[in-house]
Every structure is written in C-alpha cells, then in structure tokens.
C-alpha cells in the first residue's frame, strides 16, 4: 500500500480555507451565564448612559462631565452619578442615596443568590432567544456581542468582555421603542480602588425609604400621569405638612400617582395615592401603628390617604382635596 502525504502547499491551502470559514463554536447561553456574577472582578471605570428619548445636549463651559464613576473590589460596588446620587452594593444589600432629598433606598443586592438563580433560569428558558453576533470592542477591549429576546418584556443587546466576561455595554429596547444604552467609556482592571473610593458613609439624618420613594417625578410628568382623572389632586389643608414631591406608582398594572407631604420635623409623612377609578380601595397598605388609612372617591379619581395624623385631622385633609 502506498501512503500519500500532503505537501506543505496543500496544508497551507487547507488552513487558508479554514480561516475563511466562520469559527463560532462558542455557546452564547454559556457566555451569558458566565457574565452574571462579577464578584471576583476588581476595576475602576467610567460609564455613560444614553437615552433615545433624551438626546445628549452640548456641555456648557464648566459643567461636570456626565459620566458615572464606577469602583469595584470583589463583591463591593460603588457608582457615583453626576447628579450626586450614589449606589452602593456590598453583595447582600443595595443602597441608592439621594442627597438632594436626604433619603436612601434599600433593596436586595443584584448579586444575591436567588437573583442569580432566577437569571440562570431565564437564560435556560428555550423561549428566550440568545444569539451571538459579530464581535466588536468597547473601551478598547474585545467583546462578544449577544442579542437576547425574552418571551416578553424588553429586548437586550450585550457586549461582554472576552477576557473577564464582564458586561461592558447594555442596550435595552423597551416595547415602546425607547432605547437606553449604558456602557463603559473606560475601564482599568489593574487599578485597585482605595478605601476612600469604596467608602459609603451616609449622613446621620438620612431617611430610609422604599424602592422608588426617593425619585420624585417632575410636575409635568405628574400632570401627564394624572390626566385620566383630571390632573394631580392636592389637599388645601395639610396640617403644616409640606409637599415633598410626586411619585410614580402602579396598581394592577395601571398608573398611579402619589403626592407625598412631609412634617416640619421630617419624621412623618402624608401620602395621597390617586388613580383613575379601578377599585383602588382594595390596594394592600402597610398599617403599622399609628398609621391610619382613609379611602374616598373624588370625581373620576380613587384616593387613598395614609398618615399618622389623628383621625379627625386626617379626615380634614381628605375633605380638603379638590
């Protein structure tokens, strides 16, 4: 039997042909799974957020650079926003501090085990489409690019660093067409954040609030939300409480507006929940003593008033709502 050997020329030609073929053996779901938990990462970076509904405006001379400073050391994460807000996550809880309002929102960490397991289940869901697109670079680093389409909700496009599996960019397309992009403008994995950069010391008079309670909406937004029942409703009598702001809420998937009033000493609040008529009086409300709750209907709106005022004064506030 004569054994035939391939010549070096033939081998080179074969390699050249192979080089032209798409070499995409990576499993996009496995890439996505590896990017879920960045607890073992350490870096310093700068992030930028872009919103398709809010085109970037030219910077005024002397105005701050609209970037987010990001510091991570293992499970500890701190993000400083150009607005002065600070997000701090220690792997167990996440706190978002609003210095202008003097409040802090506390929620479970996004790194919590139950959240990671839920994310993995979503990735394994066969109804979730995960596709691998052409590689590109973010902040000078080579990235996998993945498109994720869940059965419902927002579609996402992610840029994942090939070396560290850290998500360097996220484009989220909401069902209404709005696109929000968050990406690193720069990132340094060799930099070690200092104690000062990772420190999170809240002022002694800061107030804890539930998630969403620290972000009031502008009056124009409040007016748009309340248009269905004739506009935002406010009491004429507030027992000396001052309006802190309007907040967006929801009940049974329907929009709701909450007007929050604060006592002069800042230790108690009045909350006026309002929405179009939809049986809101059935809404569950936490009633820790001495909190009292009143429900009423005014024109096209359902109202719920929550506060710690004496019952007679609370009724007076409700009766003064126009």
Over the stretch 231-285, which tens digit does the pLDDT of each residue have? 999 999 999 999 988 988 777 667 889 999 989 887 788 999 999 876 655 555 5
Neighbouring C-beta atoms of residue 181, cutoff 10 Å: 15
Stretches where the chain sits below pLDDT 50 are 1-24
Alpha carbon 232 to its chain centroid, in Å, reads 26
Q: For the whole model, what pTM was predicted? A: 0.68
Spatial neighbors of 201 by CB under 8 A, at least 6 apart, are none
pLDDT of residue 160: 96
**Using CA atoms, how far apart are residues 188 and 140, in angstroms rounded to an integer?**
11
**Using CA atoms, how far apart are residues 163 and 21, in angstroms rounded to an integer?**
23
Query: What does the CA dihedral 106, 111, 116, 119 come to, rounded to 10 degrees?
Result: 70
Q: What length does the chain have?
A: 322
pLDDT of residue 279: 63
pLDDT of residue 284: 55
Backbone angles phi, psi at 143, to 5 degrees: -135, 145
Contact indicator for 296, 306 with CB cutoff of 8 Å:
no
Contact indicator for 252, 290 with CB cutoff of 8 Å:
no
Over the stretch 64-91, which tens digit does the pLDDT of each residue have? 678 999 999 999 999 999 889 999 999 8
């Amino acid at each position: 039997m004569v054994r035939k050997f391939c010549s070096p020329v033939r081998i080179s030609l074969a390699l050249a042909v192979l080089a032209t073929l798409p070499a995409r053996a990576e499993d996009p779901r496995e890439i996505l799974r590896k990017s879920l938990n960045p607890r073992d990462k350490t870096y310093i970076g700068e992030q930028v957020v872009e919103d398709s509904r809010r085109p970037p405006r030219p910077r005024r001379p002397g105005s701050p650079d609209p970037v987010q400073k990001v510091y991570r050391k293992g499970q500890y994460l701190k993000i400083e926003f150009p607005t002065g807000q600070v997000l701090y996550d220690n792997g167990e809880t996440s706190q978002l501090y609003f210095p202008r309002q003097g409040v802090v929102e506390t929620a479970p960490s996004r790194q919590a085990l139950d959240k990671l397991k839920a994310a993995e289940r979503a990735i394994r869901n066969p109804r979730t489409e995960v596709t691998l697109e052409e590689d590109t670079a973010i902040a000078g680093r080579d990235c996998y690019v993945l498109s994720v389409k869940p059965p419902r909700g927002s579609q996402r496009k992610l840029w994942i660093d090939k070396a560290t599996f850290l998500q360097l960019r996220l484009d989220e397309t909401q069902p209404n067409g709005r696109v929000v992009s968050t990406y690193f403008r720069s990132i340094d994995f060799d930099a070690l954040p200092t104690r000062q950069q990772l420190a999170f010391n809240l002022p002694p008079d800061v107030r804890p609030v539930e998630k969403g309670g620290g972000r009031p909406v502008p009056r124009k937004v409040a007016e748009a939300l309340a248009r269905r029942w004739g506009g935002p409703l406010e009491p004429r009598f507030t027992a000396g409480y001052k309006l802190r702001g309007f907040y967006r809420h929801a009940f049974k998937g329907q929009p709701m507006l909450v007007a929050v009033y604060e006592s002069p000493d800042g230790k108690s609040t009045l909350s006026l929940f309002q929405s179009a008529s939809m049986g809101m009086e059935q809404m569950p409300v936490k009633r820790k003593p001495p909190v009292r709750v009143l429900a009423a209907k005014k024109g096209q709106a359902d109202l719920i008033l929550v506060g710690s005022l004496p019952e007679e004064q609370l009724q007076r506030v409700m009766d003064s709502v126009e």
